[in-house]
Amino acid sequence: MSEQKSFFKQAVPVWLRGKESEMNICAELVLQAEHMQKPVMYLTGATFYQVLVDGELVHYGPERKATGYAAIDEVKLPENLNGNQVVIRAMGYNCRCFNGCTGVSFIQAEVFDDDRLIAATGKNGFKYYRAQSRLQKVIRYSSQRHFSECWDFNRNREESEISVIDPGVKYYLRSTPLSELQVLNANLVKSDNFVEVEDLKMPIFAYLKEPPKNFDHFSYDEVETKPLENYLKTRIDKDGSKKLEMWNFDNIQTGFFRLEVEAESDASLMIAFAEQLGDDNRPNLKAVDSCNIIKVTVPKGNHIFYSMEPYTVMYAEVLYTDGDAKVKTLSVKELAFPQKPIIPYKSGDEELDLIYDAAVRTFRHNTLDIFMDCPSRERAGWLFDSYYTAKAEYSLTGDSVVEKAFLHNFLDGGLRKSMKGVTEMCYPSNVYSGNIVPQWSMWFVLQAAEYMTKRGHMDEKPLFKEAFFNLTEFFKDYENEYGLLEKLPGWNFVEWSALNHRVWDVSWPSNMLYAKMLETIGNLYDTPELVEKAEKLRDTIRNMAFDGKLFMDRAMRTDDGKLENTEERSETAQYYAMFFDVIDDDKKYDLIRNILIGEADIENIDGYKDIEPSDAMPGLYLKLDLLLDMERYDLVIKNIREYFGPMARTTGTLWERKSGITSRDHGFASFVAPAIKIACGR
């Protein structure tokens, strides 16, 4: 068994016997507390767990780590417990996903009162149960996260024997902050009636009916219940025989649903939720391709229900499907970066402060143990997104606690040995497709370099050296006769726009990024040949991709093997050229600078047509960054007001894309907070 060092005195890792490799198993460890004045629990485990005291949620963990590692939480339980019930509710998902590493299920915990050991897994104090109330065979929540939640509290938990497990992990104490878990209440805005029909209002998500290869799931035909399908067959009808309620939050919130339910008989209800409403003024489930439905069945009586997983919500619909029940309160227990470490800031401008506060809320929702893309459909630690969220963390807190944990996860397990150190596209994860984004490995270098040079961690330079130089070797295999990267493997990503359909054969933005990566490594590790190679690459790009006014998007091979530019151009390719130092102060690049500062409209440039405009990621953020470097703070503020103002007013968060068609709470958008501070002279 892996060395436990001194983190646990007696506890050993355990799981329900014979279930450690089974999908979607919910275990409950129960401690009946007696005469504990200041109890403290130390615990860790695979996937996720909650700690509840007398049914109230007090903790969620663990901190996500790389495969082969486990972080131990220190949880201060409420004081003066006597006769109270302490429950660890843990999930054994055993399901490849984007938002954590898959490993054998286990839980390991100890409870102390001062120096007195009260309970230790595998030794004494805890009773162990299979939580039959959590239905096992259910649909996936999304193609990126684990399983949806269906609960039947008429099913009693079943006492279970346990086995001692060897998870094969190294233990560390948690390094990232705990959420404050404050309760945020929704408002009941209206009640209505509904009917059930035969037709679905939209198709069932393809990953449920026709799952991709290596997608861990229960077949759609064998699941125990189909609440998504049931919900899609409901229609608002004032003459309907069943009741529903719409509950709204003032802003988008992230955390665990908390429902107080009063049932006059056995009853079932569904909660449907979303960040936005659809055309029918009901929760829009399609927007993030997630099964935002929780089904709950309760016996007669009063109940407090917490969802097992955190979700993101602004609009929630409660449908009373069977029996006689009433939701007394609907709230979210927030899971977010704590407010205390965030340095207070006010610009003095009401609109900017509204946007700034939305950026902070977005940061808090997407930052806790790692940097996430969104707190909804994925909760995944994506590179590139993290490049900008890391800037927000340092600006907001003066520190890089989460960034350190995030980067070290990649060093510990997010580099592919079989591909010379190429990074996983997001991590910790076990992405079922096995895909990579080669550009994200380059952004990993740029972020880690800023972490060391700009955020005060030069002492960690030796830790990244091998990974960085392995990447230079990997990319050599894809250099063509000009030294340009050509036909990179995996999912090539340069922007959420038509530009991303222009990555073959030679992507000029990708090569601009490559030059910057080489230069960064060369300067960081005093390797002049890499700096020289980067400048030679820039010369090649200038000579081959610049038409005298603008840079092209790509070059392709002709039938006779010659490399020729297409006639495709984009706004963002020009920003890549500026951001990665492909252009200098020469007047021949004036049109590019004029596009940046808004003095040239890409739709009305003589001699050009159909120049692809920038999308948010990364075009808009490169633009803001460049304007900050130019100290054009007036334009920074102008762009922020125009682009982010409507988002902040609508949801109190900042979105993945301007249209709002996808996530409306996206981590990289929190970069707006430091941008406002810099532009306002702070």
| 517-544 pLDDT per residue, tens | 999 999 999 999 999 999 999 999 999 9
Predicted local distance difference test score (pLDDT) of residue 7? 87
Give CATH for domain 14-134+155-173: 2.60.120.260
Q: Is 573 within 8 Å of 502 (Cβ atoms)? A: no
**pLDDT surpasses 60 at 2:** no
* Average pLDDT of the segment spanning 432-449: 97
Distance CA 365, CA 358 (A): 11
pLDDT digits (tens, 9 = 90+) for 15-37: 999 999 999 999 999 999 999 99
| Strand partners for 274 | 315
Give CATH for domain 350-679: 1.50.10.10
Residue 387 φ then ψ, to 5°? -60, -40
**For domain 183-334, is the CATH number 3.60.15.10?**
no
**pLDDT surpasses 50 at 350:** yes
pLDDT digits (tens, 9 = 90+) for 378-419: 999 999 999 999 999 999 999 999 999 999 999 999 999 889
Distance CA 79, CA 146 (A): 34
Predicted local distance difference test score (pLDDT) of residue 293? 98
**pLDDT surpasses 50 at 89:** yes
Task: Single out the residue of 680, 100, 63, 676 nearest to residue 391, CA to CA.
Answer: 676
Residue 118 φ then ψ, to 5°? -95, -45
Distance CA 307, CA 317 (A): 15
**pLDDT surpasses 70 at 4:** no
Stated as kind and residue range, the H or E segment containing 626 is helix 621-629
pLDDT digits (tens, 9 = 90+) for 582-615: 999 999 999 999 999 999 999 999 999 999 999 9
pLDDT digits (tens, 9 = 90+) for 358-382: 999 999 999 999 999 999 999 999 9
Q: How far is CA 179 from the centre of its chain?
A: 16
Task: Single out the residue of 335, 148, 142 nearest to residue 254, CA to CA.
Answer: 335
- Which string of DSSP letters, residue by residue, matches 274-313? ESSB-TTSSB-SGGGT---EEEEEE-SEEEEEE-SS-EEE
In this predicted model, which residue has the larger pLDDT, 4 or 13?
A: 13
Predicted local distance difference test score (pLDDT) of residue 405? 98
Delimit the domains of the chain by residue range: 14-134+155-173, 183-334, 350-679
**pLDDT surpasses 70 at 1:** no
In this predicted model, which residue has the larger pLDDT, 259 or 418?
A: 259
Mean pLDDT (the chain) is: 97
Tokens of 132: 């039959």
What does the buried/exposed string (b/e) look like for 148-160 if buried means 16 or more CB atoms within 10 Å of the residue's CB? bbbbbbeeebeeb
Same fold, 14-134+155-173 and 183-334: yes
Distance CA 117, CA 541 (A): 66
Q: How many degrees, rounded to 5, is the angle at CA 671 between CA 668 and CA 674?
A: 165
pTM of the prediction?
Answer: 0.97
Identity of the residue numbered 221:
D
**pLDDT surpasses 60 at 3:** no
Predicted local distance difference test score (pLDDT) of residue 6? 64
**pLDDT surpasses 60 at 211:** yes
pLDDT digits (tens, 9 = 90+) for 113-154: 999 999 999 999 999 999 999 999 999 999 999 999 999 999
- Which string of DSSP letters, residue by residue, matches 371-440? B-S-TTTT---BTTHHHHHHHHHHHHHSS-HHHHHHHHHHHHH-EEGGGTTEEPSBSS---TT----HHH
